[in-house]
Amino acid sequence: MEHSNIVIIGGGVIGLAIAAELAINNEGVFVFEKNKMIGMETSSHNSGVIHSGIHYPKGSLKARLSIEGNTMIYELCKRHHIPFKKLGKLTVANNENEIIELERLMKNGEDNNVEGLKFLDRDAIKSLEPEIDAQRAIYSPSTGIVEPFDLINLFYRQTVNNKAEIVTGTEVSSIRQIDSEYELSGLSSGEPFTIRSKTVINCAGLHSDKVAAMAGLDIDKLGYRIQLCKGDYFRINGSKPVRMLVYPVPSFPGLGIHLTPDISGAVKMGPNAYYVDSIDYMVESNKNEFMDSVRRFMPSIDKYDISPDMSGVRPQLKKDKNGFRDFIISHEADKGLFGFINLIGIESPGLTSSPAIGKYVSEMYETEVKSES
């Protein structure tokens, strides 16, 4: 029987960011990824936006980790020569209700100490983005973009350089607690495997509720069950009608269909948001929904040619009465699972937060698990 110190389930940006941190001071760190390659699920099906942290309630993990992650990602990109663009973002409003929501958003951003936020009127918006027509907007200078696979590959290199092992094609299908360890089994490249580990970190993304259930947790009672919330994107072909990110005020259950330039300047529209029962990455939406949404703040959209681009699936938790759910990052010692750490519901701003989550979980491991075992 193989033994390890720490097993991380899931080789997405979150599992790898945590592995990169833990591998600095610990031996026997393994990442198990069910796919043949790392980063093939949500981590590579997203907008690639480095969020400012304006959207999330003060004191939440989403606010704290995205604001910390925003600064860390720009530093990492500079240090490791990863392309990024700090484009800035406009969140636009075109009627009274939207303006009230914009003011609420501004207050939230200020409570979170997001730097450099300012209101713009119609003329100021036009001078920045001539194709955008809106009564008012919040300008957020710290929002930017990065290619998600550049971050995934950075955390991968940092992990393996510190002698941790990333084992792809390896799916964990059962977890048993035996004495002070966990016995994990499943299939690795089609062959059965079993390994024991003192610590298990569940970073299984869209499957993280199922992994928590494998360890014996009642995911419904704990509010850990994930709803799959898909979002499609369309691409504006050829033209580059905006330079910065342009968002409407947020609309449940996503952030609203927005315009996101990528590193090359090409502009994506999306994602929309709808619930699904299974995971696939086919674009299923009708382009009229996208045209109608975007026309509200970019009337010239009609003249641009658009085509289906990509989609992603959010690992969403059921919202509370205020319409919000925070990331779950929990050492489950109080539930009888010492050394078992769950990360569940790591939807947006998960990519932005990834380096900060790596640090946060590594500190949780050092203070709550390692020092106590």
Q: Can you give the binding site for ligand FAD, defined by CB under 6 A?
A: 9-15, 32-35, 40-43, 45-49, 51, 171-172, 203-207, 211, 231, 271, 312-314, 346-352
Helix (H) or strand (E) holding 343: strand 340-344
Residue 138 or 313 with smaller CB distance to ligand FAD: 313
Closest contact distance (angstroms) between CB of 353 and ligand FAD is: 6
Closer to ligand FAD by Cβ: residue 231 or 339: 231
> Minimum distance from CB of 196 to ligand FAD (Å)?
16
Give me the amino acid identity at 86. Answer: K
Q: CB of 354: closest distance to ligand FAD in angstroms?
A: 7
Chain residue at closest Cβ approach to ligand FAD: 350
Nearer to ligand FAD, 120 or 211 (CB): 211
Q: How far is the CB of 299 from ligand FAD (least distance, A)?
A: 25
- Residue matched to tokens 């947790």: 217
Whole-number minimum distance, CB 206 to ligand FAD, in Å?
5
**Cα 330 to Cα 346: distance, rounded to the nearest angstrom:** 12
Phi, psi torsion values for 115, nearest 5 degrees: -80, 145
CB-nearer residue toward ligand FAD: 103 or 289: 289
d(CA 282, CA 308): 9
Residue number with CB closer to ligand FAD (204 or 301): 204
Looking at the chain, how many residues does it have?
373
Measured distance between the N- and C-terminal CA atoms of the chain, rounded to whole angstroms: 21
Output 132 or 313, the one with its CB closest to ligand FAD. Answer: 313
Q: What stretches of 147-303 adopt beta strand conformation (E)?
A: 165-167, 170-178, 181-188, 191-202, 226-236, 245-248, 258-261, 267-270, 274-276
Sign of CA dihedral 49, 52, 53, 55: negative
Q: What is the dihedral of CA 264, 266, 272, 277, to 10 degrees?
A: -60
- What tokens does 78 get? 């500079």
User: Which CA distances in Å does 170 have to 28, 40, 165, 267, 339?
Assistant: 17, 14, 12, 36, 21
Tokens 């509010």 belong to which residue? 223
Q: Where are the alpha helices (DSSP H) in the chain?
A: 13-25, 61-79, 96-111, 122-128, 148-161, 208-214, 287-295, 350-364
Closest distance to ligand FAD from the beta carbon of 333 (Å):
22
CB of 73 to ligand FAD, least distance (A): 9
Tell me how far CA of residue 33 lies from CA of 13, 165, 166, 242, in angstroms.
12, 11, 8, 38
Return the number of the residue (12 or 241) whose C-beta is nearest ligand FAD.
12
Q: How far is the CB of 302 from ligand FAD (least distance, A)?
A: 25
Which residue number, 136 or 257, has a Cβ lying nearer to ligand FAD?
257
Q: Quick one: 119 or 149, whose CB is closer to ligand FAD?
A: 149
CB of 97 to ligand FAD, least distance (A): 25
